[in-house]
Amino acid sequence: MCVPIPAPAVIPIELSFTMMGIGGLKIGQAFLIEEGLLPNQYSENFGFIITGLSHNIADGKWTTDVKTQFYSTKKPTPEEIAYFKEKYGQETARRVRELKSFEKYIEFNQDLFKRATQFIPEAQYELV
């Protein structure tokens, strides 16, 4: 039996940033970071899920603080699925199928985030 080879070590990242005030973002929504901003192993295989939001109004300015945690966007290979089926049973295989459905939900939210931020000039928000 082929045991899946673990991915090279990656340090977990929490990404937090403040941007010009925006409504419509929700905890649990996910997005990708444009290539070139993070090391390749992060931008190619990981996305970010919003884990915290807060809004501030001060001096006539509305800002939104966004806190995120990274997650793997790499889909399991058939060999990995077979390995986990054997090791953990059919219940885990069912959960893997559910995760694939969840990936479609994440893709929809990534598109929504892109559309929501496309009109915000980069100079009006900063990564913290």
* Model pLDDT, residue 32: 84
* Model pLDDT, residue 126: 46
**What are the structural domains of the chain?**
14-117 (2.40.30)
Q: Which residues of the chain are under the pLDDT cut of 50? A: 123, 125-128
The total number of residues shown for the chain amounts to 128
* Model pLDDT, residue 56: 93
- The pLDDT tens digits of the residues spanning 69-106 come to 988 887 777 887 777 777 776 666 666 667 766 666 66
Dihedral Cα 41, 46, 47, 53, nearest 10 deg: -90
* Model pLDDT, residue 36: 80
